[in-house]
Amino acid sequence: MIKQFAEVIVDVPAMQTNQPYTYSIPTELINQVFPGMRVIVPFGNRKVLGFAINISEKEPDVSFALKDIEEVLDLTPVLNTELLQLANWLAQWTFSFKISCLQVMLPAAMRASYSKTIKLTSTEISPAVQKLFGDKNEIPFDTKTLTASAFKELSKLKRANQAEVLYQVRDRAKAKKVTAIQGCLSSDQLASARETLRANAAKSFQMLDYLTTLGLEQVTLKKAMQDSDLSAAQFTSAEKKGWLVKTKVEKYRDPYREAVIEQSQPKQLKPAQLTAVERINQAITDHQKSVFLLQGVTGSGKTEVYLQTIATALEKGQTALMLVPEISLTPQMVRRVKGRFGSRVAVLHSGLSEGEKYDEWRRIERHEAQVVVGARSAVFAPLEDIGIIIMDEEHETSYKQEDMPEYNARDVAIKRGEWHNCPVVLGSATPSLESRARAQKGVYEWLRLDERINGQPLPEVNLVDMRQALKTAPALDISAPLLSAIEQRLAQNEQVVLMLNRRGYSSFLMCRECGFVLKCPNCDISLTLHMDSRSMKCHYCGHEEAIPRTCPSCQSKKIRYYGTGTEKVEKELQELLPTAKILRMDVDTTRRKGAHAKILQQFGSKEANILLGTQMIAKGLDFPDVTLVGVLNADTSLSLPNFRSAERTFQLLTQVSGRAGRAEKTGEVLIQTFNPEHYAIQLAKNQNYEKFFGIEMNMRHRGGYPPYFFTTQIVVSGGSEAAVAKKIFGINGQLQKVLSPQAVILGPTPKPIMRINNQFYYQLVIKYKKEPKLEQFLEELLLSSQKDAARNLKVKIDRDPVDFV
Ligand code: ADP
Ligand code: ZN
Ligand code: ZN
């Protein structure tokens, strides 16, 4: 009899390794377990989820008895060969555990959830315990919901060996099922059924009529009821008579079901678009794994290039992957892609429920959808035979995941392009310096769209020097030139977009008498005032408290609100422009599902004339009547402790400027700034990316930053500052021995926000060109980090970090 063994990567928090464990496959599961399937296996005293990565018939040479696989969760592999290999690469590239790389590729619903129950093993129990258990002998054991005293009782019980804790693994993935009916009689049989009826059985005649038209087809009960005008009870009684059978069929939760989407036709391409499309099509046809940088100003028709090259891949029977930043995955964008490719499109983004995401994932897996549009994690969509991969707004930092595995979707996209031998198109108006430099060197093929489709010049951008303007400003956040520009547009019945740059901005309560600032008790940051809830909130840990009336330090009444929030600006605006209709878009107004889309829809149908918002409004919006864009505070992102702060500021200002004058009307942009001479602001004003690129490359070269050097960041965090500092200085010492003299270590230092939720954060950044021993050192650091985890010390390794705060 044959024997089979499975190598399994298991999910054991705090005990991760990258080595698989070997399990034997029980007889009844022989030839049913394949690489890429999820399994449940025993591990110590619990059961855990794992991924089978290798099956063999050769008995491993070990001195202990192998345990059996307990259960197989899938009938077919959920990860194919490509994705399994990609997970291996990802683990190595990002210094992550394999299990987290395997899990990140699947929709959340397919990651197992664990629950604990506690089961009595003794009958001699105290009345208090009796009360907890009631008439059951097994109850959920959840530290979050149990009261402290109940928890104490149960712990005592366990120590006395009167109860055991059981771990359950649950697969949350559930297909949604609905009832369907299916005809099961021939027309002769239906005719004879008719003869047995009494003449006044009108509903039964109606049912038989309906079943005659239905034939042997299957329809959902809901549709059958609509079509036949018969009730559910009548279908049940027909089933009892043997006229039809009821079944359960799977139903996809389609998040865009309601929306009626207009078909769109390919547009006649402009010459620059045509050149780009032809080059990319050629690469599709030739199965070239080339990377293209499609650099095109906002409104230059990049999206049309995406759509037409996707069409080419589909014509060849291949599939297409299109990545967009979460924030620009607006209904407008989805409509454009669905309008072209209809039901062949699957959409993946964070606004979907777990069930909806799971359904979209399965539509892809079953080859029912050939085009995937999605945000970061969609880069792992289970598409096969990919013909083209597109990444719009390739410079966006939201493509970088901050938790393990700390991957950049751009790297993954290129890796997948290599596997599929297909082109990867990186599109942007303001490419990342890294990509633009690679295009310069010929590593990427450079395609450019330098003109807007409508022939309109880019909007005129003017700066308002707030150092002067603030003296005569009608409100704290709105200068006189901006106010008069707004008034003028409103008088012409045009629309205005105003952006408040929240990045790096703090708004806080300060005492004018003694300078006291109200801070979060758990974190090293000031609390933010929220008008809607009339409270002070911490944006990092969620701490909330009442607004103090007097200074907690000196009791003075002169405690005042400083800084700016969208709510405050909205109020200021409304006072200055009583008749204006203002829509506000920020984290607070978009928290509810669909709220984001609703605000955009209201603005699009001109229910309001001003859209005021945070960074969220900078991208992807295309409203023809917007002729003025105002940036209230350009500089706040300049002051971030990050070598990319100029690049980010430039990108943001360029992007938001692109919202003006999209159609026939010319647009204007007004930027309020305290740093009008800064090169990022000056060049954003002139919309001169190329010059910005030149200057910024120079700065990076002098500072020894990317793209000239690589960076890797190590962050240690934990509850004890002393332990955190000791650990990071220890790592620093080891690094000194491993690195060559050409490498530079910045730090170790506390992070700019050192304490969040009572955890302390220290970091160091390594800058280097070529360090042959570094990879292995970091890999070992990762593996040894599990020992530290037991002492509440976290070590995070981040290649090419984007955030330093
Ligand atoms: P980008 O993605 O570069 O910002 P878009 O693809 O949104 O630019 O194009 C801007 C506008 O021009 C859109 O309304 C789009 O429908 C339109 N457009 C694009 N290409 C063409 C074309 N070849 N002919 C006519 N209109 C076009
Ligand atoms: Zn806090
Ligand atoms: Zn005070």
What is the pLDDT confidence band of residue 17, given thresholds at 50, 70 and 90? confident
For residue 34, being part of any structural domain is answered with yes
Percent of the chain scoring above 70 in pLDDT: 92
Note the pLDDT of residue 498.
93
Q: pLDDT higher for 802 or 37?
A: 37
Residues 231 and 280 in one domain: no
| Judgement on whether residues 334 and 355 belong to the same structural domain of the protein | yes
301 lines ligand 1 (CB under 6 A): yes
HEC states along 515-527? CCECECCCCCCEC
Whole-number Å distance, alpha carbon 521 to ligand 2 midpoint, is 6
Within this chain, do residues 684 and 586 fall inside the same structural domain, yes or no? yes
Read off the CATH number of the domain in which 104 is found. Answer: 3.40.1440.60
Ligand nearest to the CA of 524: 2
Q: Ligand 1 pocket check: which of 453, 622, 623, 664 to mutate, most ligand atoms within 8 Å of Cβ?
A: 453
Phi, psi of 790 (to 5 degrees): -65, -25
Ligand 2 centroid to Cα of residue 543, in Å, is: 5
Q: Which of 303, 310, 664 to mutate to test the pocket of ligand 1 (most atoms within 8 A of CB)?
A: 303
In a domain, 207, yes or no: yes
State whether the beta carbon of 682 lies less than 6 angstroms from ligand 1.
Answer: no
Measured distance CA(93)–CA(43) in Å, rounded: 28
Contact (CB, 8 A) for 619 and 393 = yes
Does residue 9 or residue 172 have the better pLDDT?
Answer: 9
Residues 519 and 388 in one domain: no
448 lines ligand 1 (CB under 6 A): no
CATH number for the domain that contains residue 793: 3.30.70.260
788 and 696 housed in the same domain: no
Q: Whose CA is nearest to atom 18 of ligand 1?
A: 301
- Quick one: 106 and 123 in the same domain? no
- Our answer on whether the CB atom of 304 is closer than 6 Å to any ligand 1 atom is yes
* Ligand 1 pocket check for 295: Cβ under 6 Å: no
- In sequence order, which residues have a C-beta less than 8 Å from that of residue 286 and are 6 or more positions away? none
Does residue 405 sit in the same domain as residue 521?
no
pLDDT at site 88: 96
Residue 485 predicted with pLDDT over 90: yes
Q: Is the pLDDT confidence value at 504 over 50? A: no
Query: Residues marked as binding for Zn(2+)?
Result: 511, 514, 520, 523, 538, 541, 551, 554
Our answer on whether the CB atom of 663 is closer than 6 Å to any ligand 1 atom is no
The rounded mean pLDDT for the chain is 87
List the beta bridge partners of residue 761: 717
Residue 452 maps to a domain: no
pLDDT of 81 higher than 50? yes
pLDDT tier, 258 (very low <50, low <70, confident <90, very high otherwise): very low
Q: What is the pLDDT of residue 645?
A: 84
Whether the CB of 270 sits within 6 Å of ligand 1: yes
- Amino acid identity at 395: H
| Stronger pLDDT, 595 or 373, i.e. the higher one | 373
Q: Quick one: what percent of the chain has pLDDT higher than 90?
A: 45
For the ranges 473-477, 551-555, 605-609, 672-676, the lowest mean pLDDT is seen at: 473-477
Q: Say yes or no: CB of residue 273 within 6 Å of ligand 1.
A: yes
- For 260, residues 6+ apart whose C-beta sits below 8 A from its C-beta are none
Q: Is the CB of 268 under 6 A from ligand 1?
A: yes
What pLDDT, on the 0 to 100 scale, is given for residue 565? 77
The number of the ligand nearest the C-alpha atom of 753 reads 2
In 3D, which of 577, 662, 659, 566 has the Cα closest to residue 614? 566
Domain boundary among 215, 250, 285: 250
The yes-or-no verdict on residue 695 having pLDDT over 50 is: yes
Q: How far is the CA of 518 from the centre of ligand 3 (A)?
A: 10
Q: Where are the beta strands (DSSP E) in 223-328?
A: 244-251, 291-296, 319-323
- Residue where a domain terminates, one of 652, 672, 700: 700
Residue 516, domain member (yes or no): yes
Contacts for 562 with CB less than 8 Å, ≥ 6 apart: 507, 508, 509, 510
Regarding the beta carbon of 143 and ligand 1, being less than 6 Å apart is answered: no
**449 Cα nearest atom in ligand 1:** 3
Q: pTM score, two decimals?
A: 0.81
Residue 505 has pLDDT above 60, yes or no: no
The answer to whether 527 touches 537, Cβ cutoff 8 Å, is yes
Task: Give CA–CA dist 730/739, Å, rounded.
Answer: 14
For residue 340, the ligand closest to its alpha carbon is 1
pLDDT-derived band at 731, boundaries 50, 70, 90: very high
3-state helix, strand, coil in the chain (%, to 5): 35, 25, 40
Return the pLDDT at 99: 94
Ligand closest to the CA atom of residue 550: 3
Winning range, highest mean pLDDT, from 100-104, 557-561, 562-566, 596-600: 100-104
Q: Classify residue 402: in a domain, yes or no.
A: yes
Domain endpoint, select from 421, 447, 473: 447
Q: Of all atoms in ligand 1, which is nearest to the CA of residue 658?
A: 4
Give the model's pLDDT for residue 663. Answer: 63
Residue of the nearest CA to atom 5 in ligand 1? Answer: 301
Comparing 139 with 416, which gets the higher pLDDT?
A: 416
Q: What pLDDT is stored for residue 79 in this prediction?
A: 95
CB distance 453 to ligand 1 below 6 Å: yes
> Is the predicted pLDDT of residue 703 greater than 80, yes or no?
yes
From ligand 2's centre to the CA of 384, what distance in Å?
45
Higher pLDDT, 428 or 539: 428
**Which amino acid residue places its CA nearest to atom 9 of ligand 1?**
301
Alpha helices (runs of H) in 262-327, residue ranges in sequence order: 271-285, 302-315
Asked whether residue 57 is assigned to any structural domain, the reply reads yes
Report which of residues 174 and 5 the model is more confident about.
Answer: 5
Distances (CA, A) of 601 to 394, 492, 596: 26, 21, 9
Question: Dihedrals φ, ψ of 203, to 5°?
Answer: -65, -35
Same-domain status, 544 and 464: no
- Residue that wins the pLDDT comparison between 330 and 309: 309
- Nearest-CA residue for atom 15 of ligand 1: 301
Predicted confidence (pLDDT) per residue in 145-203, tens digit: 667 677 677 777 777 778 776 666 665 666 677 888 888 888 888 888 888 888 888 88
CB of residue 609 inside a 6 A radius of ligand 1: no
List the one residue out of 380, 376, 378, 427 whose CA is nearest residue 401.
Answer: 376
Quick one: which atom of ligand 1 is closest to the CA of 269? 23
Q: Whose CA is nearest to atom 25 of ligand 1?
A: 267
The helix/strand/coil state of 73 is: coil
Annotated binding site: 511, 514, 520, 523, 538, 541, 551, 554
Q: Is the CB of 269 under 6 A from ligand 1?
A: yes
Kindly report which listed range (24-38, 192-206, 587-601, 647-661) carries the lowest average pLDDT score. Answer: 587-601
Q: Which domain holds residue 787?
A: 710-799
pLDDT in tens, 205-236: 899 889 888 888 888 888 888 888 888 889 98
Atom of ligand 1 nearest to the CA of 306: 6
- Rounded Cα distance between 11 and 629, Å, is 49
**Do 292 and 387 fall into the same domain?**
yes
CA 214 to chain centre: 44
Residue 38 lies in a domain: yes
What is the Å distance from ligand 2's center to 656 Cα?
A: 31
Q: Of all atoms in ligand 1, which is nearest to the CA of residue 270? A: 23
Q: Minimum-distance ligand to the CA of 448?
A: 1
Average pLDDT over residues 64-71: 90
Rounded distance from Cα 298 to ligand 1 centre (Å): 9
Q: Is residue 455 part of a domain?
A: no
Query: From ligand 3's centre to the CA of 544, what distance in Å?
Result: 20
Q: Which residues of 674-695 are buried (b: 16+ CB within 10 A; e: fewer)?
A: bbbebebbbbbbebebeebbeb
Looking at the structure, tell me whether residues 611 and 479 fall in a common domain: yes
pLDDT tens-digit readout, 322-370: 999 876 666 778 888 999 999 899 998 877 878 888 889 989 998 999 9
Domain count, the chain: 7
Ligand 3 mean position to 558 CA, how many Å? 7
300 lines ligand 1 (CB under 6 A): yes
Q: Are residues 474 and 550 in the same domain?
A: no
Q: Where are the beta strands (DSSP E) in 475-527?
A: 495-499, 508-511
Nearest C-alpha to atom 17 of ligand 1 is from which residue?
A: 301
Instruction: Indicate the SS3 state at residue 374.
Output: strand
In sequence order, which residues have a C-beta less than 8 Å from that of residue 780 and are 6 or more positions away?
none
Instruction: Return the CATH number at 367.
Output: 3.40.50.300
* pLDDT at residue 683 in the model: 93
Q: How far is the CA of 719 from the centre of ligand 1 (A)?
A: 52
Nearest Cα to Cα of residue 390 among 404, 373, 403, 405: 373
Is the CB–ligand 1 distance for residue 265 below 6 Å? no
Residue 567: the pLDDT is: 81
269-294 pLDDT per residue, tens: 999 999 999 999 999 999 999 999 99
Whether residue 424 sits in one domain with residue 323? yes
